[in-house]
Amino acid sequence: MLTISIVTNIAFLGFFKYFNFFADSLVSLMSLFGITLSSVTLNIVLPVGISFYTFQTLSYTIDIYKGKAEPAKNRIQFFAFVGFFPQLVAGPIERAKNFLPQFARLVKPDYKIFRSAMLLIAWGFFKKIMIADRVSIFVDTVFNDIPGAQGFPLLLGSIFFCISVVSRFFCIFRYCHRYG
């Protein structure tokens, strides 16, 4: 079953991500030898997060196989583990042994934690919409015309860009420090 899981996951990933690349490469390679092949490419949309989902399910399968984690109690737990969307953008691939037991614990709602979380989300939205989006208009204008940008606008664009990078780092650092 482990082999079937690994082969199936890697096959899906390889097909969706690399089929067109290898098909085009084969056509180019054969043309070097004077063999003309018609290009066969698929017009498929790459599923969002396919690499993440592939490696997340592989992690689950391997942890279960090695006895490092217990299988999920039901499909909801399994799909919640595989599809936990905040990890999709933040990473890294989570180990089943660390994540799945959290579904078994009953957590009572805490008003202070909920309020703190909502305030953090609202503050983040404010900074994103009212500050970062406005500053990025200026930064994009400056950096889209590098040869024409000189002096103060270039300096200000660089400073605004640095502020946006540092503020993102600070938000991530503060979150990690607060919630471990």
- The pLDDT tens digits for 139-149 are 888 888 877 77
In this prediction, residues 21-48 reach a mean pLDDT of 82
Residue 116 and residue 79 share a domain: no
Residues 67 and 37 in one domain: yes
115 shares a domain with 95: no
pLDDT greater than 80 at residue 6: yes
Domain that holds residue 47: 2-104
> For 78-85, what is the mean pLDDT?
79
Q: How many domains does the chain have?
A: 2
Look at 148 and 8; give whichever has higher pLDDT.
8
Q: Which of 82, 101, 100, 91 is nearest to 9 (CA)?
A: 82
8 A C-beta contact, residue 102 and residue 80: no
52 and 68 within one domain: yes
Residues 131 and 169 in one domain: yes
pLDDT at 3: 92
Of 63-77, 85-99, 155-169, where does the model show the most confidence? 63-77
Same domain (yes/no): 10, 95: yes
Which of 44, 77, 104 represents a domain boundary (last residue)?
104
Q: What is the pLDDT of residue 7?
A: 94
Last residue of a domain, one of 73, 104, 135: 104
Instruction: Looking at the structure, tell me whether residues 90 and 116 fall in a common domain.
Output: no
The whole-number average pLDDT for the span 57-62 is 88
Q: Which of 59, 89, 104 delimits the end of a domain?
A: 104
Do 6 and 89 reside in the same domain of the chain?
A: yes
